Amino acid sequence: MVMSLQGLSLQRNGKKVLDNISGELVGGKIIALLGPNGAGKSTLIQAMARLLECQGRIEMKGQALGEFSAEELAQNLAYLPQHSQLQFPLEVEEVLSLATLPFNVTRLQQRQQIKQVIADWGIESLANKDFRQLSGGEQQRCQIARTYLQLSNMVTEGRGQGIWLLDEPTSSLDLEHQQQLKTICTQAAKEGHCVVIVLHDLNQAFSLADEIWLLDKGKLRAQGKTSEVVTEELISDVFNVSVRRIEDNEGSIFVFS
Amino acid sequence: MIKKLLTSPFGWILGIVLSIGICLGALFMGSVDHQTLMNTDIGSKILWDIRIPRVLLAFVIGASLSLSGVLIQSNVRNPLADPSLIGVSAGAALGAALMIVAAEFVGFETQYYIPIAAFVGGILATMTVLKLGRNDLPGGMALLILAGIAINVVAASLIGLLSYIATDSALRHITFWSLGSLASANYFWLALCSIALLIVCIWLPKQHRKLDAILLGQAEANTMGVDVKRLQIQSIILVALLASLAVSACGIIGFIGLVTPHIGRMLVGASHRYLLPLSFFLGGSLLVIADGMARTIIAPAELPIGIVTALIGAPVFIWLLVREGRRLQW
Q: How far apart are the first and last CA of chain B?
A: 43
pLDDT of B1 > 50? The answer is no
Are the beta carbons of B271 and A94 separated by less than 8 Å?
Answer: yes
Q: How far, in Å, CA of B245 to CA of B92, rounded?
A: 9
Whole-number pLDDT of residue A91: 92
pLDDT of B18 > 90? The answer is no
Whole-number pLDDT of residue B38: 60
Predicted complex ipTM: 0.90
CB distance B43 to B37 below 8 Å: yes
pLDDT of B161 > 70? The answer is yes
Sign of the Cα pseudo-torsion (A247, A248, A254, A257, in order): negative
Residues comprising chain B, all counted: 330
Percent over 90 (pLDDT), chain A: 61
In one-letter notation, the amino acid at residue A229 is: V
Identify from A48, A87, A159 which residue to disrupt to test chain B contact, counting B C-beta atoms within 10 A and taking the largest count: A87
* Chain A residues with a Cβ under 8 Å from any Cβ in chain B: 46, 49-52, 69-71, 73-75, 77-79, 81, 84-91, 94-95, 98-99, 101-102, 132-133, 150
Residues of B in contact with A88 (CB under 8 A): 73-74, 77, 79, 215, 265, 270
Count CB-CB contacts under 10 A for residue B145. Answer: 18
In 3D, which of A156, A61, A144 has the Cα closest to residue A104? A156
Q: Read off the pLDDT of residues A144-168 as tens digits, 9 standing for 90 and up.
A: 999 999 999 887 666 678 999 999 9
pLDDT of B90 > 60? The answer is yes
The mean per-residue pLDDT over the stretch A110-119 comes to 93
In one-letter notation, the amino acid at residue B273 is: R
User: Shortest Cα distance from A193 to chain B (angstroms)?
Assistant: 16
B227/A contact by beta carbon, under 8 A? yes
CB distance A139 to A106 below 8 Å: no
CB distance B243 to A115 below 8 Å: no
Instruction: Compute the half-sphere exposure of residue A36: CA atoms within 13 Å on the CB side of its CA.
Output: 12
Residues 6+ apart with CB under 8 A from B322: none
Burial grade of B206 (CB within 10 A; 0-12, 13-18, 19 or more): exposed
Burial grade of B324 (CB within 10 A; 0-12, 13-18, 19 or more): middle
CB distance A205 to A174 below 8 Å: no
Whole-number pLDDT of residue B149: 87
**β-pair partners for A10:** A18
Whole-number pLDDT of residue B223: 93
CB distance B321 to B328 below 8 Å: no
Q: Read off the pLDDT of residues A216-243 as tens digits, 9 standing for 90 and up.
A: 999 999 898 877 777 888 888 888 888 8
Where is average pLDDT lowest: A194-198, B14-18, B166-170? B14-18
pLDDT level of residue B330 (50, 70, 90 thresholds) = very low
Query: Mean of the per-residue pLDDT values for chain A?
Result: 89
In chain A, what are the domains? 3-256 (3.40.50.300)
B141 vs A166, higher pLDDT: A166
Q: How far, in Å, CA of B193 to CA of B26, rounded?
A: 26
CB distance A216 to A14 below 8 Å: no
Nearest to A49 among B216, B223, B225 (CB): B223
pLDDT of B141 > 70? The answer is no
CB distance B283 to B155 below 8 Å: no
Degrees, nearest 5: CA angle B207-B210-B213 = 155
Percent over 90 (pLDDT), chain B: 22
Q: How far, in Å, CA of B130 to CA of B26, rounded?
A: 44
Q: Read off the pLDDT of residues A1-54 as tens digits, 9 standing for 90 and up.
A: 789 999 999 998 888 999 999 999 999 999 999 999 989 999 999 999 999 889
Whole-number pLDDT of residue B324: 66
Whole-number pLDDT of residue B111: 64
Residues 6+ apart with CB under 8 A from B142: none
Q: Read off the pLDDT of residues A247-257 as tens digits, 9 standing for 90 and up.
A: 777 677 777 76
pLDDT level of residue B263 (50, 70, 90 thresholds) = confident
CB distance B291 to B56 below 8 Å: no
The mean per-residue pLDDT over the stretch B207-225 comes to 92
State phi, psi for B3 to the nearest 5 degrees: -65, -45
Domain span including residue B53: 2-327
In 3D, which of B263, B277, B285, B280 has the Cα closest to residue B205? B277
Are the beta carbons of A70 and B222 separated by less than 8 Å?
Answer: yes
Q: What would you report as the CA-atom Rg of chain B, rounded to the nearest whole angstrom?
A: 20
Whole-number pLDDT of residue B28: 59
B244 vs B193, higher pLDDT: B193
Q: How far, in Å, CA of B91 to CA of B74, rounded?
A: 22
Query: Mean of the per-residue pLDDT values for chain B?
Result: 81
In one-letter notation, the amino acid at residue A231 is: T
User: Shortest Cα distance from A239 to chain B (angstroms)?
Assistant: 29
For the stretch B313-320, contacts whose Cβ atoms lie closer than 8 Å and that sit 24 or more positions apart, written own/partner, are B313/B254, B313/B255, B313/B256, B313/B258, B313/B259, B314/B255, B316/B259, B316/B263, B317/B255, B317/B258, B317/B259, B317/B262, B320/B259, B320/B262, B320/B266
User: How many domains does chain B divide into?
Assistant: 1
Where is average pLDDT lowest: A42-46, B48-52, B193-197, B222-226? B48-52
Residues of A in contact with B225 (CB under 8 A): 70-71, 73-75, 101-102
3-class secondary structure, A255:
strand
State the CATH number of the domain containing residue B294: 1.10.3470.10
pLDDT of A196 > 90? The answer is yes
